[in-house]
Amino acid sequence: MAQELSGMKVAIIATQDFEESELTEPKKALESAGAKTVVISQKPGKIQAVRHDEKTIQVDVEMTFDQVQASEFDAVQIPGGALNADTLRVVPEAQEFVREMDRNGKPIAVICHGPWLLVSAGLVRGRKMTSYHTIQDDIRNAGAQWQDAECVRDKNWVSSRQPSDLPAFNREMIRLFSEQRGREKRVA
């Protein structure tokens, strides 16, 4: 794969019981495209991955919210996992992180239950997006146009439904982040 994201720094926001493939596969795709990824959570140490409801691997937390500022990052990726997303959505620092990223037009890639954070941060009204089908009412009730599609692009966001959509999600995430990279280079 080409190094179209060379020099780009991407935050991956997750906590306990994230869906394994929704963090590890996008992380691998981003790094293969040349991006530097940083796993961010509320507490230092390791966070537990799951495959639906079964515990799998643990991933190192590289930085905590109190150690970072959104301005240090070029993009953010938010994996799902119902327990991960339900916990993360009420973390004020996570909400402010995604608000700042969005205010600055930086790309946001979110999958499965991950959009709950965007809902709780008050960002989805008027947006087009997808998610895991069980939270579509939450997305709609927050004012977004929910679509049952493997990937939905809307301005600086790309969203996807579930692990089976990861090939399309990773492709669209790389494309979105690469477009952002191209805009930054033209401005510089």
Give the torsion through C-alpha atoms of 83, 41, 176, 134, to 10 deg. Answer: 10
Q: Which domains does the chain have, with CATH numbers?
A: 9-181 (3.40.50.880)
Q: What pLDDT, on a 0 to 100 scale, did the predictor assign at position 184?
A: 64
Distance of alpha carbon 128 from alpha carbon 35, whole angstroms: 26
Per-chain mean pLDDT for the chain: 95
Cα distance between the two ends of the chain? 25
Show the DSSP H helices in the chain as ranges.
20-32, 82-88, 92-103, 115-120, 136-141, 166-187
Q: How confident is the model at residue 3 (pLDDT cuts 50, 70, 90)?
A: confident
pLDDT digits (tens, 9 = 90+) for 96-128: 999 999 999 999 999 999 999 999 999 999 999
Residues belonging to the active site? 113
Q: Do 108 and 75 form a contact (C-beta atoms < 8 A)? A: yes
Distance of alpha carbon 25 from alpha carbon 178, whole angstroms: 17
Q: Which one, of 69, 62, 67, 72, lies nearest residue 27 by Cα?
A: 62
Q: What pLDDT, on a 0 to 100 scale, did the predictor assign at position 180?
A: 82
pTM of the model: 0.95
pLDDT digits (tens, 9 = 90+) for 151-186: 999 999 999 999 999 999 999 999 999 998 766 666
Q: Is the pLDDT of residue 187 over 70?
A: no
- Strand, coil or helix: what is 177? helix
